[in-house]
Chains A and B, each alone.
Chain A
Amino acid sequence: MTSEDEWNEFIAASARALALTVEPAWYPAVRTNLATIWKLAGLVAQFELPDDAEPAPVFRA
């Protein structure tokens, strides 16, 4: 997602799904935060790990 409209659609749909109210005045800051998160998550995703890589938290019964 790159355009403001695309982010706005995503925020509106996500807010509905999460039963969250996002006031119009909050959209710009939420967009900025989402763009930062997506950029950083992209940096992590670019790093190739094997399918059997274990996540850091390990559950023990």
Chain B
Amino acid sequence: MIEPETSALDIARAVASGETSAVAVVEATLARIATLNPLLNAFTAVTAARARKRAAALDARRAAGDRLGPLAGVPFAVKNLFDVAGLSTRAGSRINRERPPAEKDAPLIARLEAAGAVLVGALNMGEYAYDFTGENVHDGPSRNPHDTTRMTGGSSGGSGAAVAGRLVPLALGSDTNGSIRVPSSLCGIFGLKPTYGRLSRAGSFPFVTSLDHLGPLARSAADLAAAYDAMQGPDPADPVCAQRPVESTLPLIERKAERLRIAIAGGYFRAGVPVEAAAAVAKVAAALGAAREIDPEAERARAAAYVITAAEGAALHLDRLRRRAADYDPAVRDRLIAGAMIPAAMVANAQKFRRWYRDRVLALFDEVDAILAPATPCTAPSLGQETFVVNGLAMPVRANLGIYTQPLSFIGLPVVVVPVVLSALPIGVQIVAAPWREDIALRIARALEAAGAVAAPRPAM
């Protein structure tokens, strides 16, 4: 019996064994989306006909004796900056919905479907991914399943809402400065931002090419690993995508984490951190026996990432800003206009600092296997909330929910966010590993799940 709570891997096992059919899974998923999406505003398009057709084809293949893939019958949805054949890739914007429909799916969608998964729709997001709130002036905000008056976090807000709300067990998002990790934290789910260059970004609308990543969100570490494994591999269509073979993580995920050297990020990640974020890190650190603290000089890294993002993002949009400024979300437009006015020297300096910081942090990984850090400063703010207080300072929410995620994606490190429940609203902790060691971060996430220290809480819906 497939319940809304059923994991992606359990769905795949049930479909592959014939215990249930892909058609039954997809019908149940579409019914749940129809019931709950009006509350959560997670989906901007539901690809029902396509999903039904694909599910029927999977069932026919099984009936004919074919062996189905590792994600057989698993429904998934993607942030609406992924190309989906037949849909305009809106990237959360009003302007892009005038684009002609995409002719083919993004490669990551094709890879998940090659593993048996079934696309059921496209998901809400902050405009052009320049957002940490999940609010969108054109489509309305995605809403947090744990309290629909609160933010999902963004910019992959619909991805967070759809997975946490049990509409789908798996979603894809993008993460330039934290856009997978922030909604994972605020919605209480697991999220993986892989190493920069690990997963192909072809067929997705860009934001800051030198910082853009794509990755999965799910409700367990194993589901993240299964999705990640299915999407790996080189892709000539994305020049950034690494020439690395598939390195499967799921077969390694049950390995014990006890011998791993795990440290806590200090300095910027500790000073003035709000109580609930600090408590979440402390809970995870205690479960892992991590006590050593290291200080990776992250404040300047975050500053440099901010400058590069503003300048590169503005360069991408400059011509559109000239022609269509009034059609942007004002909060995005005003940030992009400011970004267009940044002197080149500021960006060049930030890129020089980026290399220095990378070398310094990589040296830390000679001594440790993973680093723990808060994912967000707080649990989900209220929708429409414009400021919050961190380290005694009032800050704009939109630009600062990612203050702890931004210094890590800046140098492309793989990060798994794990959900911690300390009150009615969950909050995430980042598990950061060395480049290409997603397996380590996923193993630690799985060990924390097995120890009962982290879990995706079930919302009352």
Question: Interface on A for B, CB 8 Å cutoff?
Answer: 10-11, 14-15, 18-22, 26, 29-30, 33-34, 36-37, 40-41, 43-45, 47, 49, 53-57
> In the bound complex, do residue A14 and residue B341 qualify as a contact, i.e. CB atoms below 8 Å apart?
yes
Closest to B304 in A: A44
- Closest chain B residue to A43 by CB distance? B303
Closest chain A residue to B400, Cβ basis: A36
Interface pairs (9), CB distance under 8 Å: A15-B337, A20-B318, A21-B322, A37-B307, A53-B355, A55-B352, A55-B354, A56-B210, A56-B358
Contact A18–B333 (Cβ < 8 Å): no
Tell me if B335 counts as interface (CB < 8 A to partner A): yes
> In this assembly, does B306 line the interface, its C-beta being within 8 Å of a C-beta of chain A?
yes
Q: Known: A49-B352, A53-B352. Is A41-B338 also a contact (CB below 8 A)?
A: no
A37-B306, A43-B303, A44-B346 known; A49 vs B339 contact (CB < 8 Å): no
Determine if A10 and B299 form an interchain contact, defined as CB atoms under 8 angstroms apart.
Answer: no
Asked whether, in the complex, the Cβ of B341 is within 8 Å of the Cβ of A11, the reply is yes
Given A49-B349, A56-B354, 16 extra CB contacts under 8 A: A21-B322, A26-B330, A29-B334, A36-B306, A36-B399, A40-B303, A40-B304, A41-B346, A43-B300, A44-B350, A45-B346, A54-B355, A55-B348, A55-B351, A56-B352, A56-B355
The reply to whether A37 and B318 form a contact with Cβ atoms under 8 Å apart is: no
Minimal beta-carbon separation of B395 from chain A (angstroms): 10
B436 an interface residue at 8 Å Cβ cutoff? no
Pair A40/B306 contact, Cβ less than 8 Å: yes
Q: Does B321 contact A (CB under 8 A)?
A: yes
Q: How far is the CA of A53 from the CA of B306 in the complex (A)?
A: 20
For the complex of A and B, list the 9 residue pairs with the smallest distance between their C-beta atoms, beginning with the closest.
A33-B338, A55-B351, A40-B303, A29-B334, A56-B354, A41-B346, A14-B341, A43-B303, A56-B355
Check A41–B341 contact: CB distance below 8 A: no
